[in-house]
A and B are shown apart, each in its own frame.
Chain A
Amino acid sequence: MAAILVVDDSITMRQMVVFTLTSAGHEVVEAADGNKALAAAKQRKFDLVITDVNMPGMNGIDLVQNLRGLPECKFIPILVLTTEAGAEVKQKGKGAGATGWIVKPFNPEVLLDTLKKVLD
C-alpha cells in the first residue's frame, strides 16, 4: 500500500478522497493548501500526490512545479483532481509536471483504478 499526500482546501472533498483511499488500504496525509503540502513533502517521502488546482496561497499548478523541484518528489506520480476541465489549464498542469488529470466529481472506483495504474 502507498503513502499518499492529498491536497485540497475543501475539507469535504478532502474527506471524500481520504475515505476512498483509506478504504483501499492506503496511508493518507492531508494538506489544506499548497504551502502546507510542500512542507509535508519536505518532511517525508510519499509515493503519490493528489492535488486540487484552485487553492488559497499556492495553487495546484505551482505546487506541482515546486514539488518537481524537490529531489524526493522528482519522479513520483502527481495527479491533479479538480473541477477545471479546460485544455489550457490542463496544458499548464502537464507543463508543470503533473502525471494525470482527474475531473471532479470523481468516482471512487475510477480514482483507485487510476492510482493503481500510475503506481504500477
Chain B
Amino acid sequence: MKPLRFKLYAYRNRLLPMFVLVMIPWLAVAPWAPWWAHSIAMPLLFICAWLLFMHVLPMPPTGRRTTDDRKLSDIDISNLRKTPELNAQQLLARWALMTRESKLQLEEVDQHVSDVMDHAESAVVEIGKRFVEVTRKTRKQVELAVGLLSRTGTEEGSAGDKALDSLPDYIHASDALLKNLGGQLVALSDQLATLSARQEAVREESKRVDGALDQLAALASEIRVLALDSGRRGNADNRAFVEMTDRVRALSLTADESSRAIRKTLEDIKSQARTTDDAIRAIAGQARDAGRKSNEEVAELTGATLRKTQEVHTALGEIGALGARIQDDINQIVIALQFQDITQQKLQRLKQPMISELASSWLSMFEETRAFNRKLSGSGADAVEAPATPFRVSLKKAPEPEKGRAAEGAKETESPRRDDGSKVELF
C-alpha cells in the first residue's frame, strides 16, 4: 500500500486530467454500446487504469534518491532552493516520508531492544535458577560424602555403649576385634606351652615306671631261679632252706616296695593326666567360647559392614547422578550465556549504524528546512548563504564499519533460536 499511497500523493495534482484522459475513449463510444458491453468495459477500464497507474506510470522522483545517486549537481540543488515555493511541498513530502520510515526503523530498533532485554532477562533468570540448582546439588553431594565418613548415628553397638554408624567406626571396631582375637590366641599359645611341659613330665614319670617294671622283671627272674634252686636242694639241708626263705622274704619285700612305688607313680600319672585333661578341657572351652564369640561379632560386623558398603554404593550412585545433573546444568548455563552474547552482538551490529544514519539524516533535513524557512520568510540573502551541501538523507544501510560484521548484522536480524543443542556438520 505504501507505493500506491505515495504515488497518489505525488500525482494528486494530475489525477483528474489522467482520469479524464482515460475516460474519453469510453465516453465516446458509451452512448452506442449495449448494456453488456458497459458491464464488461467498466471493470476492465478500472483494472487497466490501476495497472497503468501502478506499473507503467513511473515512481515520482524523491530528493533523497536523486541526491544519493548524485544526479543533481550543487548548482541544480542551489537552483531548486531558489524556487522554494515549488519545492517546499516536495520537501515536506520527503519529510513526512522520512519521518515515517525513521519511525519504522526506530520501532524496529525498539523491537530488537525489547527482544534483547527479554533474552537477557530470561537468560539471567535461567542462569540464576541453574546456579541455585548447582549450589543445592553440590551442597547435598558434600553432605552425603561427609555424612558417609563421619556420621554419628543412634543405633547402639552390641559390644559397648558407643554407637557405630560411620565407616571409620566400623573399621576401628574390626581392628579392635582382630586385636582381641590376637590376644586370645597368644594366651592360648601360652597355655598350650604349659600343657606341653606337663606332658613332658608325664613322659618322665613313664620312664620311671619302666625302671620299676624292669626291677620287678628282674625280681621275678631271681625268684624263679631261687625256686629252682630250692627244688634242687630239697631236703638236703634245713639251714639252707631257711637261708633261701630269708632271701625269698627279702625279695618279696623288695617286690612289695617296688609295687608301692609303681602304684604311687601311677597315681601321680593319673593325677597329672587329670590335671592335663582339665587344662585341655578348659583351654578347649575357652577357645570354643572365644571362637563362638568372635564368630558372632565378626558376623555382626560383617553384616553391618556390608550394609554400610551398600549405603556407600548407594551414596556413590547418588553422587554420580548429581554430578551428571550438575554437568547438565552447567551446559545449560553455557548455552544461555551464548544466547545472551549472540543477542548482544546482533543488537550492537544493528543499532549503531541505524542510529547514526538517522541522526545524520535528520540533521541534513533540519539544515535544509532551516534554509527554506529563511527563504520563505523573505530573507533571500540568507538563503544564498545557506549551505549548498547536497542532501545526505539515505535509507540504505550505513557504511560497513568492519569487514564481515555488517553482513552478519544484515543477515542475522532474526532472534537466535532457543534450542539446547548445537548443529554439527562434519565435511
Contact = CB atoms under 8 A, between A and B. Distances in A.
Given A12-B337, A107-B335, A99 B427 contact: yes
Contacts of A107: 331, 335, 420-422
Interface in A73-110: 83-86, 90, 94, 98-110
Contacts of A54: 404-405, 407-408
B408 to A, nearest CB: 4
B407 to A, nearest CB: 7
B303 interface: no
A112 B103 CA distance: 46
A106 B424 CA distance: 9
Contacts of B405: 54, 56
A56 B422 contact: no
B424 A114 contact: yes
Interface string B403-422: 11101100110001000111
B91 interface: no
Nearest to A15: B337
A84 B408 CA distance: 8
B338 A100 contact: no
Nearest to A113: B424
B422 A83 contact: no
Interface residues on A, range: 35 or more
Contacts of B408: 53-54, 83-84
Nearest to B341: A12
A50 to B, nearest CB: 12
Contact of A117 (B339, B340, B407, B426): B426
A111 B168 CA distance: 42
B425 interface: yes
Contact of A56 (B341, B402, B424): B402
A16 B420 contact: no
B290 interface: no
A105 B338 contact: yes
Nearest to B422: A106
B424 A100 contact: yes
Most buried by A among B334, B345, B405: B334
B411 to A, nearest CB: 7
A76 to B, nearest CB: 14
B403 A56 contact: yes
A99 B427 CA distance: 5
Most buried by B among A54, A56, A99, A100: A54
A33 B334 CA distance: 22
A19 B333 CA distance: 12
A100 B427 contact: yes
Contacts of A111: 422
A51 B304 CA distance: 57
Contact of A99 (B335, B411, B426): B426
A100 B335 contact: no
A10 B403 CA distance: 16
Contacts of B315: none
Interface in B329-374: 330-331, 334-335, 337-342, 345
A118 interface: yes
A117 B422 CA distance: 15
Contacts of A35: none
A56 B420 CA distance: 28
Contacts of B426: 99-101, 114, 117-118
Contacts of B14: none
B5 interface: no
A31 interface: no
Contacts of B402: 56
A13 interface: yes
A114 B423 CA distance: 11
A53 B334 CA distance: 20
Nearest to A20: B334
B397 to A, nearest CB: 16
A61 B369 CA distance: 47
Contacts of A101: 424-427
A59 interface: yes
Interface string A45-74: 000000001111101000000000000000
Given A53-B408, A99-B426, 9 more contacts: A55-B404, A56-B403, A59-B403, A83-B408, A83-B416, A105-B339, A107-B420, A107-B422, A108-B331
Return the 7 tightest CB-CB contacts between A and B, nearest first: A106-B422, A105-B338, A12-B341, A100-B426, A103-B423, A54-B408, A59-B404
13 contacts: A12-B340, A12-B341, A13-B341, A53-B408, A54-B405, A59-B403, A83-B416, A85-B423, A90-B425, A105-B338, A108-B330, A109-B331, A110-B421
